[in-house]
Amino acid sequence: MKIDEVTFEIDSGLDVADVLALYRSAGWWEEGDDESAIPDILAGSWAVCAVRSQGRLIGIGRVLSDGRSDAYIQDIVVLSEFRGQGLGAQLVCFLRDHCVRQGLRWIGLVAEPGTQDFYERLGFRPLVGFIPMRLKQEH
Protein backbone atom coordinates (compact mmCIF):
# COMPACT_ATOMS: atom_id res chain seq x y z
CA MET A 1 0.00 0.00 0.00
CA LYS A 2 1.40 3.39 -0.97
CA ILE A 3 1.47 5.89 1.85
CA ASP A 4 1.45 9.66 1.78
CA GLU A 5 2.47 10.70 5.28
CA VAL A 6 4.31 8.68 7.90
CA THR A 7 5.42 9.73 11.37
CA PHE A 8 8.15 8.24 13.54
CA GLU A 9 8.04 9.05 17.24
CA ILE A 10 9.15 7.71 20.59
CA ASP A 11 5.90 6.59 22.19
CA SER A 12 5.22 4.95 25.54
CA GLY A 13 1.45 4.74 25.20
CA LEU A 14 0.90 2.15 22.50
CA ASP A 15 -2.26 0.08 22.31
CA VAL A 16 -1.60 -3.57 23.16
CA ALA A 17 -3.91 -4.83 20.39
CA ASP A 18 -2.03 -2.77 17.78
CA VAL A 19 1.35 -4.07 18.96
CA LEU A 20 0.01 -7.62 19.05
CA ALA A 21 -1.17 -7.29 15.43
CA LEU A 22 2.32 -6.16 14.39
CA TYR A 23 4.05 -8.98 16.27
CA ARG A 24 1.65 -11.53 14.79
CA SER A 25 2.26 -10.15 11.29
CA ALA A 26 5.97 -10.84 11.81
CA GLY A 27 5.30 -14.37 13.09
CA TRP A 28 6.61 -13.51 16.57
CA TRP A 29 3.37 -14.06 18.48
CA GLU A 30 1.12 -17.06 18.11
CA GLU A 31 -2.40 -17.81 19.23
CA GLY A 32 -2.26 -18.88 22.85
CA ASP A 33 0.81 -16.79 23.73
CA ASP A 34 0.28 -14.60 26.79
CA GLU A 35 -0.90 -11.21 25.52
CA SER A 36 -0.64 -9.76 29.02
CA ALA A 37 3.17 -9.74 28.59
CA ILE A 38 3.07 -6.97 25.97
CA PRO A 39 2.66 -4.03 28.41
CA ASP A 40 5.68 -5.32 30.37
CA ILE A 41 7.69 -5.78 27.17
CA LEU A 42 6.98 -2.19 26.18
CA ALA A 43 7.53 -0.79 29.68
CA GLY A 44 10.85 -2.64 29.95
CA SER A 45 12.13 -1.01 26.78
CA TRP A 46 14.39 2.03 26.98
CA ALA A 47 12.75 3.45 23.85
CA VAL A 48 9.86 2.38 21.63
CA CYS A 49 9.35 3.98 18.23
CA ALA A 50 5.88 4.01 16.73
CA VAL A 51 5.49 4.35 12.97
CA ARG A 52 2.09 5.70 12.00
CA SER A 53 0.24 6.49 8.82
CA GLN A 54 -2.98 8.50 9.17
CA GLY A 55 -3.04 7.64 12.88
CA ARG A 56 -2.72 3.89 12.28
CA LEU A 57 0.19 2.02 13.88
CA ILE A 58 1.98 0.38 10.93
CA GLY A 59 5.39 -0.29 12.45
CA ILE A 60 7.31 -0.53 15.69
CA GLY A 61 10.86 -0.90 16.92
CA ARG A 62 12.39 -1.08 20.40
CA VAL A 63 15.69 -0.34 22.10
CA LEU A 64 16.91 -2.09 25.24
CA SER A 65 19.48 -0.09 27.19
CA ASP A 66 20.48 1.26 30.57
CA GLY A 67 20.67 4.66 28.91
CA ARG A 68 24.37 5.07 29.68
CA SER A 69 26.44 2.46 27.87
CA ASP A 70 25.13 -0.15 25.43
CA ALA A 71 21.93 -0.23 23.41
CA TYR A 72 20.31 -3.09 21.52
CA ILE A 73 17.81 -2.44 18.74
CA GLN A 74 15.19 -5.14 18.34
CA ASP A 75 11.68 -6.04 17.24
CA ILE A 76 11.79 -4.03 14.02
CA VAL A 77 8.54 -4.72 12.18
CA VAL A 78 6.41 -2.99 9.55
CA LEU A 79 3.03 -4.33 8.44
CA SER A 80 3.43 -6.37 5.27
CA GLU A 81 1.24 -4.10 3.14
CA PHE A 82 3.58 -1.17 3.90
CA ARG A 83 6.87 -2.99 3.27
CA GLY A 84 9.15 -2.22 0.36
CA GLN A 85 8.96 1.56 0.84
CA GLY A 86 12.01 2.00 3.06
CA LEU A 87 10.07 2.31 6.31
CA GLY A 88 12.05 -0.42 8.06
CA ALA A 89 15.31 1.33 7.20
CA GLN A 90 13.92 4.67 8.36
CA LEU A 91 12.77 3.04 11.61
CA VAL A 92 16.20 1.55 12.33
CA CYS A 93 17.88 4.89 11.52
CA PHE A 94 15.42 6.76 13.74
CA LEU A 95 16.22 4.49 16.70
CA ARG A 96 19.97 4.49 15.95
CA ASP A 97 20.02 8.29 15.80
CA HIS A 98 17.93 8.56 18.97
CA CYS A 99 20.52 6.44 20.80
CA VAL A 100 23.40 8.56 19.48
CA ARG A 101 21.65 11.80 20.51
CA GLN A 102 21.33 10.37 24.02
CA GLY A 103 25.08 9.72 24.16
CA LEU A 104 25.04 5.97 23.53
CA ARG A 105 27.94 4.86 21.36
CA TRP A 106 27.73 1.04 21.42
CA ILE A 107 24.59 0.18 19.48
CA GLY A 108 24.01 -3.38 18.39
CA LEU A 109 21.36 -5.77 17.14
CA VAL A 110 20.95 -9.41 16.19
CA ALA A 111 20.21 -9.71 12.47
CA GLU A 112 17.95 -12.51 11.31
CA PRO A 113 19.32 -14.72 8.52
CA GLY A 114 19.13 -12.92 5.19
CA THR A 115 19.06 -9.41 6.70
CA GLN A 116 22.79 -8.75 7.07
CA ASP A 117 23.06 -6.65 3.88
CA PHE A 118 20.07 -4.54 4.97
CA TYR A 119 21.69 -3.69 8.31
CA GLU A 120 25.12 -3.15 6.78
CA ARG A 121 23.61 -0.50 4.47
CA LEU A 122 22.48 1.27 7.66
CA GLY A 123 25.98 1.30 9.16
CA PHE A 124 26.01 -1.91 11.21
CA ARG A 125 28.85 -4.42 10.92
CA PRO A 126 29.23 -8.05 12.04
CA LEU A 127 30.94 -8.54 15.40
CA VAL A 128 33.88 -10.55 14.10
CA GLY A 129 35.06 -13.08 16.64
CA PHE A 130 31.87 -12.92 18.70
CA ILE A 131 29.07 -15.48 18.74
CA PRO A 132 25.52 -14.55 19.77
CA MET A 133 24.34 -17.03 22.36
CA ARG A 134 21.03 -17.86 23.97
CA LEU A 135 20.25 -19.82 27.12
CA LYS A 136 18.85 -23.23 26.30
CA GLN A 137 15.86 -23.85 28.54
CA GLU A 138 14.31 -27.21 29.23
CA HIS A 139 10.51 -27.29 29.10
Contact 11, 48 (CB under 8 A): yes
Report yes or no on 111 lying in a domain. yes
Residue 131 lies in a domain: no
The answer to whether the CB of 72 falls within 8 A of the CB of 64 is yes
Rounded distance between C-alpha atoms, residue 30 and residue 28, angstroms: 7
CATH number (domain holding residue 17)? 3.40.630.30
In a domain, 60, yes or no: yes
Q: Which stretches does DSSP call E strand in 25-116?
A: 47-53, 56-65, 70-78, 106-109
Q: Residue 20: which domain range?
A: 6-121
Residue 44 lies in a domain: yes
Per-residue pLDDT of the chain (139 residues; tens, 9 = 90+): 667 799 999 988 899 999 999 998 888 887 788 889 999 999 999 999 999 999 999 999 999 999 999 999 999 999 999 999 999 999 999 999 999 999 999 999 999 899 999 999 999 999 999 998 989 987 6
Buried b (16+ CB within 10 A) or exposed e, 21-47: ebbebeeebeeeeeeeebeeebeebbb
Its pTM stands at: 0.90
Number of compact structural domains in the chain = 1
